[in-house]
């Protein structure tokens, strides 16, 4: 068996999938599926679906489209699930956050009707047709949805990413680090120089948590709100710095500027923005003098 080939295949899969230990069953828990949308022109777009079973066949959750791309968008979903017939239907109802530069009227919201799911040898496959509609009802996309339950990726990790299969400790450590980075990027928005993340917001303040998620290496940032400096020289530490910022404008811009890359470039800040019970995680990756922006849109 060519384990190098298997590991390459495994890493490729992880650019689309993140794992957990969940299987699809009738329990009140969160389910995760990750895979692709294949458009009618054969273009592939990465897609993650997470939802809770609310009982009586109702589900609610969220989706992430274009997970690693420039148009990464997180949306609310709601729908229905039938465990007996093994079918699921859902629609995207609104955006939570997006890196896309498209206007709200140009967003294409996904609609899935009666997609089928089945469990084979420990993995649950969800497959079906989808369409997309603009807010005005005009059809903007169609194609095929293909997702897999994330517990299958845990099985791959257990089978192939261990000391019995990979004898070189340095190689094993490197692969685990790369996979850990990929897992982190699935759930967090990564913002680089000049990138903008737009978030729809409901409360009158934003609670901002900022810290160094890795080894403290003296990274420093500045923080501006609507072009007004609120933090001059913040040295990132493992302990979180918490800022409570009142939102007085319909649209507020939080700008992060890297002023010191510390002992190990680049300057990397872990950020969580809290809107009541809703949290939006962000990783800001900057060189000295670069900046990125988080735009808060009050609903």
The residue extents of the domains of the chain are 21-149, 189-298
Phi, psi (deg, nearest 5) at residue 49? -125, 125
Q: What is the pLDDT of residue 182?
A: 58
Per-residue pLDDT at 7:
47
Q: What is the pLDDT along the chain (299 residues), one digit of tens a residue?
A: 444 444 444 444 544 443 333 345 445 578 999 999 999 999 999 999 999 999 889 999 999 999 989 999 999 999 999 999 999 999 999 999 999 999 989 999 999 999 999 987 778 899 999 999 999 999 999 999 999 887 655 665 666 666 666 667 766 566 655 655 555 667 789 999 999 999 999 999 999 999 998 788 999 999 999 999 999 999 999 999 999 999 999 999 999 999 999 998 999 999 999 999 999 999 999 999 999 999 999 98
Rg (CA), the chain: 21
What is the per-residue DSSP string for 65-124? ESTTSTT-EEEEEEEEEETTTTEEEEEEEEEEEE-----GGG--EEEEEEEEEEEETTEE
Do 152 and 171 meet the contact criterion of CB atoms below 8 Å apart? Answer: no
Closest CA to 61 of 72, 46, 48: 48
Nearest to 268 by CA among 241, 240, 281, 287: 287
Match domain 21-149 to its CATH number in 2.40.128, 3.40.190, 2.60.40, 1.10.10. 2.40.128
How far apart CA 297 and CA 299 sit, in angstroms, is 6
* The pLDDT of residue 190: 93
pLDDT of 163 reads 64
Q: Which CATH number fits domain 189-298: 2.60.40, 2.40.160, 2.20.25, 1.10.8?
A: 2.60.40
* Predicted structure pTM score: 0.80
């Amino acid at each position: 068996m060519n384990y190098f080939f298997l590991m390459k295949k495994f890493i490729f899969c992880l650019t689309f999938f993140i794992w957990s230990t969940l299987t699809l069953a009738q329990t009140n828990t969160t389910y995760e599926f990750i895979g692709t949308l294949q458009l009618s022109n054969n273009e592939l777009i990465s897609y993650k679906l997470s939802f809770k079973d609310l009982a009586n066949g109702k589900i609610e959750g969220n989706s992430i489209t274009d997970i690693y791309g420039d148009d990464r968008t997180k949306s609310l979903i709601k729908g229905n699930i039938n465990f007996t017939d093994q079918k699921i239907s859902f629609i995207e109802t609104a955006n939570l956050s997006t890196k896309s530069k498209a206007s709200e009227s140009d967003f294409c919201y996904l609609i899935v009707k009666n997609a089928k799911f089945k469990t084979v040898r420990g993995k649950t496959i969800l497959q079906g047709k989808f369409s997309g509609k603009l807010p005005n009802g005009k059809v903007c996309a169609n194609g095929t949805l293909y997702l897999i339950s994330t517990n299958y990726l845990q099985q791959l990790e257990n089978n192939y990413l261990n000391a019995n299969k990979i004898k070189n400790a340095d190689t094993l450590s490197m692969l685990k680090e790369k996979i850990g980075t990929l897992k982190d990027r699935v759930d967090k928005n990564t913002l680089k120089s000049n990138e903008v993340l737009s978030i729809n917001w409901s409360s009158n303040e934003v609670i901002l948590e900022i810290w160094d998620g890795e080894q403290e290496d003296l990274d420093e940032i500045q923080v501006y709100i609507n072009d007004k400096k609120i933090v001059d020289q913040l040295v990132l530490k493992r302990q979180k710095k918490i800022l409570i910022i009142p939102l007085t404008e319909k649209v507020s811009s939080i700008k992060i500027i890297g002023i010191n890359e510390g002992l190990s470039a680049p300057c990397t800040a872990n950020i969580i923005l809290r809107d009541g019970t809703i949290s939006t995680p962000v990783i800001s990756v900057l060189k000295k003098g670069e900046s990125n922006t988080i735009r808060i849109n009050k609903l």
